[in-house]
Chain A
Amino acid sequence: MTIKLGVPSKGRLMEKTFDWFGARGISLSRTGSDREYAAKVEGIEGVELVLLSAGEIPRELKAGRIHLGVTGTDLVQEKLGLWEQQVETMAELGFGRADLIIAVPQCWVDVNLLEDLDAAAAAFRAKHGFRLRIATKFHRLVREFLRDHGVADYQLVDSQGATEGTIKNLTAEAVADITSTGDTLRANHLKILSDSTILKSQATLFRSRNAKLEQKQKETLNALIKQLELDR
């Protein structure tokens, strides 16, 4: 029996993950045509590479269908309830860094803090008859954060992409999104609320706590941990 390692199936996250493992003597690579999701592992025995969408890796870890997986902390915490009981953090990989933040239009000169957002939301609701809309795909994290910080009179609207454009399109008044440099926010005339860092995320190697390991697989995992020089 092999142990299964889930890695994002495309883009920079995949390349950087391959580089990270490569630097530690484990070569991950795609095989076959560009379109075929087949892959191989060299430099260690008994590890099978599974290419998956980064967004599906948390779910697969929770189900125990993969033993290890690389994905963002943001996705794990958004998608898994009691996440620390489902997965163990093995290593932070130092790339794919991004912050989940709340941003509002730059023209809102009166809003710089969460308490301003709360006050603006109360006035907005009174005037417009509906709650101030915050576009996001991180519903759970944002809701928990705003509840903990006592912000009321808002609603979350789902946005799976091009979130920064929702304000100009009048489908939201604010956004809660992942940003690394802030360039996209600035280009869309948005600014970050200074006390609104919900989460600092980066690509992370997780181990599923729900995947069963046979003796042979345990040995493979230990060999992998040793080779990756993970401090546990």
Chain B
Amino acid sequence: MPNKALIRARAAELRARFEAAGAKVAETAVLQPAEVLLDLYGEDIRARAYVTSDTLLGEQMLRPDFTVPVVQMHMDHGAEPARYTYSGEVFRRQEEDTRRANEYTQVGYEVFARENPAAADAEVFGLVHDALAHLNARAVTGDIGLLKAAVQGIETTEHRKAALARHIWRPKRFRALLDRFSGRLPVPAQREALLAEADPMQSGVPFIGLRGPDEIAARIEALREDHGAMPISTGQVEMLDALLDVRETLPFALEQLRDIAVDMPAITDAVYRLRERIEALDARGINVDAIDFEGSYGRTNMEYYDGFVFGFLANGRADLPAVASGGRYDALTRVLGGGNEIPAVGAVIRPEVVLELEAQA
């Protein structure tokens, strides 16, 4: 990797670009309270972030990203609409691959705006696109909102839809649930036995722990309901698969999704939003024919993106992480906003990777 002084200089140039676009510079602490991040991301964040502690503050994490502290700062006392930029180091544990950096720089741009989300999406993507235009990298986009809408549109119980929606970001579990709900996987023997019992709560063992008898009874009731529900039809599973399998440039992807929406009307609004986004990108002078769309893109990231997602990947350099990545995270502002929320979209560029690609060119 290039030396620190070069990285810092490149980061400053990128941040200046974002300032010129109207963003205010945001500074955040390196030490972030672990509780907030843990509650947000769950235990997985511990595998990715460095945790430290002292006896007064308790557990702290070395900033694994800027998004959370910037959102918190904005939700506490930001005026609307707002644009922020930042530049600094983030820290990630790398226990499985020694080639991945555990300390690297991010330069970010975040927009908080209620009006015209398509324009905000295009603004963030466009700024990153322009900053990286000279690099041999391709842009990939996706839309988590489309997946969420598709799951809501499946003809099945609310319970099953909630279970699937919860696991959009865990493709393996999502698939297992879909197989279970569509009858492709047999019902586990232990569950059959449980449901065959007249009074399964009378098992003769003592009730211990915080999860009470009412919670156990509620789950058994949910299992009974599920057992009696019709399997999700093959046609519906195929449509969902078709959506996840879309891999096209943006205009062709839109065509395919429109076709899918004929049979899956629940995604119609999301498809309209995609069209508006493509138009907004086009209006910014971006060649949308050169941008890829993948139905599954963004599913293995951490689960705060809930709409437009994108990344810029270096061509022929699978060894490098994405040069830039970003997306929309409206729900995150709701979680961190204590009753307030505001639509938000942002992105980060990694100057180390930019320099690496510039050196190669």
Asked if B42 CB lies within 8 Å of chain A CBs, one says yes
What residues of chain A lie closer than 8 Å to B38, measured between beta carbons? Answer: 155
Pick the interface stretch among A3-11, A111-119, A221-229. Answer: A111-119
Q: Is the CB of A150 within 8 A of B173?
A: yes
Q: Is the CB of B219 within 8 A of A123?
A: yes
Asked if B216 CB lies within 8 Å of chain A CBs, one says yes
The residue on B at minimum CB distance from A81 is: B95
What residues of chain A lie closer than 8 Å to B180, measured between beta carbons? Answer: 115
Given A106-B205, A112-B190, A143-B46, are A82 and B96 also a contact pair (CB < 8 Å)? yes
The residue on B at minimum CB distance from A128 is: B210
Given A82-B95, A131-B42, are A150 and B216 also a contact pair (CB < 8 Å)? no
How many of chain A's residues have a CB under 8 angstroms from any CB in B? 45
The residue on A at minimum CB distance from B219 is: A110
Pick the interface stretch among B164-172, B271-279, B347-355. Answer: B164-172
Asked if A173 CB lies within 8 Å of chain B CBs, one says yes
How many of chain B's residues have a CB under 8 angstroms from any CB in A? 42
Q: Is the CB of A120 within 8 A of B211?
A: yes
Whole-angstrom CA separation of A148 from B209 in the bound complex: 27
Asked if B259 CB lies within 8 Å of chain A CBs, one says no
The residue on B at minimum CB distance from A144 is: B47
Asked if B1 CB lies within 8 Å of chain A CBs, one says no
Asked if A167 CB lies within 8 Å of chain B CBs, one says yes
Asked if A216 CB lies within 8 Å of chain B CBs, one says no
Q: Is the CB of B208 within 8 A of A105?
A: yes
Closest CB in chain A relative to B303 CB, distance in Å: 9
Given A131-B42, A143-B46, are A110 and B223 also a contact pair (CB < 8 Å)? yes
Closest CB in chain A relative to B15 CB, distance in Å: 33
Asked if A12 CB lies within 8 Å of chain B CBs, one says no
Asked if B203 CB lies within 8 Å of chain A CBs, one says yes
Whole-angstrom CA separation of A129 from B89 in the bound complex: 32
Whole-angstrom CA separation of A154 from B41 in the bound complex: 10
Interfacial residues of chain B within 185-207, with CB under 8 A of chain A in the complex: 188, 190-191, 194, 200-201, 203, 205-207
Q: Is the CB of B163 within 8 A of A119?
A: yes
Q: Is the CB of A110 within 8 A of B46?
A: no
What residues of chain B lie closer than 8 Å to A152, measured between beta carbons? Answer: 42, 166-167, 170, 173
Other-chain residue from B47, B213, B220 in contact with A143 (beta carbon distance below 8 A): B47
Which residue among B38, B42, B172, B176 has the maximum number of chain A CB atoms within 10 Å of its CB? B42
Pairs A–B under 8 Å by Cβ, sample size 13: A81-B96, A107-B213, A109-B203, A115-B173, A115-B180, A122-B163, A122-B166, A123-B218, A124-B211, A149-B172, A155-B38, A155-B43, A189-B206
Residues of B participating in the A interface, judged by any CB pair closer than 8 Å: 38-39, 42-44, 46-47, 95-96, 98, 163, 166-167, 170, 172-174, 176-177, 180, 188, 190-191, 194, 200-201, 203, 205-211, 213, 215-216, 218-220, 222-223
Given A115-B176, A122-B163, A131-B43, 12 further pairs, Cβ under 8 A: A105-B211, A107-B205, A109-B203, A112-B191, A115-B173, A123-B215, A130-B39, A140-B95, A146-B43, A150-B172, A153-B42, A155-B38
Residues of A participating in the B interface, judged by any CB pair closer than 8 Å: 81-82, 105-113, 115-116, 118-120, 122-124, 127-128, 130-132, 139-140, 143-144, 146-156, 167-168, 170, 173, 189, 194
